Structure 1
Amino acid sequence: MAELRTDRLVLRGWRESDLGPWAAMNADPEVREYFPDVLTREQSQASAARFQADLDQRGWGWWAVEVAATGEFIGFTGLDPVDENMPFTGVETGWRLARSAWGHGYATEAALVAVTFAFESLALPEILAMTTATNLRSQAVMRRLGMTRDPADDYDDVSVPAGPLRRNVVYRLSSTTLRRTRPASRAGCSTHRKSD
């Protein structure tokens, strides 16, 4: 499994000690503002188990994120194949952080190292990111990564009840664009292979 690092963050596999703070995050209405519901503790534990299984199977996926200086678990970021029911295919990046970790540039920093891994280690030609049309904070992170939006890609998520969360936007980043316009980062990044 790949373990990714910046000067401030570690993207790593999931641990038993992550489950409590992960469940607390997913029960927080502010963290889940752009999702239909909060998650139960059991749902959060099941998602962490799925994420770790993907990391074990293919070596990449949704990594747990910790602050390097303290070891504090703050959320997740990473890469995942786009769901089969989506109107397009590819690999997406995403992130979800605890409220205490907002406003430090962690989402951009963690996503940048994941996207760099996708292009340099997996040789993917493009990365996608999706969010609700109302989630302006995540869209700002996407733009900081150098991603761009074509409104023709926007879509309605029919699995979500009618309302403000149904409309979604899609941002894209190609490997050539990242090399040409790589955003300034507070920290360098590196990839380490970690055996099981």
Structure 2
Amino acid sequence: MRLAPPVPMPGRLVRTERLTLVPPGKENLPDLIRLKADPRVFELMLHGTRSEERTREELEDDIEFWQVRGYGTWCVYLTATGEFLGIAGLMERPDGRGVALRFALWPECRGKGYAREAARAGLEFGHRVGLARIIAVAWVENVASRSVLRDIGMVECDSFTYRGRQMVVHESIRGG
């Protein structure tokens, strides 16, 4: 757990009623290694759990993505305590489907609305910075994530099979 999240450049920090979303920096590597290696969190994510080296590479990519695009993935903290809860944000999908909303929080966060709050903040930020269409992809059996996506206004628009699993694509169109 990390207390007192670092303060990023203005305009990139997002605050909600209970959460603070901060673009990642190298100081977040230990938390990210734990999160991304945990199968309870990352088993259902694209490419599954990550090694320490892969997490390090992804962090470097995340930092660069923010610099180039002006949006990306945030580290999510509980504002009241500074506790690291997970990640949420926007990334270009490697399969060419577009910019996707993603979120991955510790299982202990379930049932508290943190994923919904972080996902909504990421979606709103993306549309505010000019993204006309944002997608999200969830395994058809991942009822909790699909519920979050519906609750924040995303609608099902497509599906595909990945690693033998049926995946559902949701989308949000700015102004739609």
Fold shared by both chains (TM-score > 0.5):
yes
Residue 88 of structure 2 contacts residue 118 of structure 2 at CA under 8 Å; is this kept in 1? yes
The percent identity for this pair of structures is 31
Distance 2:77 2:61 in 1: 19
| Pairwise CA distance, 1:21 | 2.2
- Deviation by residue 1:133-178 (Cα, 9 ceiling, x = unmatched): 221111011011111113xx11123xx3xx3xx321101112223x
- 1:103 aligned residue: 111
2:51 aligned with 1:43, yes or no? no
2:18 aligned with 1:8, yes or no? yes
RMSD: 1.9
Aligned residue runs from structure 1 range 100-179, under 5 A: 100-120=108-128, 122-150=129-157, 153-157=158-162, 160=163, 163=164, 166-177=165-176
TM-score, with structure 1 as normaliser: 0.76
TM-score, with structure 2 as normaliser: 0.83
Residue 154 of structure 2 contacts residue 172 of structure 2 at CA under 8 Å; is this kept in 1? yes
Residue 156 of structure 1 contacts residue 167 of structure 1 at CA under 8 Å; is this kept in 2? yes
2:99 aligned with 1:91, yes or no? yes
DSSP 3-state at the match of 2:20 = strand
Distance 2:93 2:55 in 1: 20
DSSP 3-state at the match of 2:42 = coil
Displaced runs of 4 or more, over 6 A: none
- Deviation by residue 1:9-51 (Cα, 9 ceiling, x = unmatched): 1111223442222211222221123146422222222212211
Consecutive unaligned residues of structure 1, counting only runs of 5 or more, are 178-196
Between the two proteins, the alignment pairs up a number of residues equal to: 165
Consecutive unaligned residues of structure 2, counting only runs of 5 or more, are 1-8
Greater RCO (CA < 8 Å, at least 6 residues apart): 1
| Pairwise CA distance, 1:124 | 2.3
Distance 1:133 1:63 in 2: 25
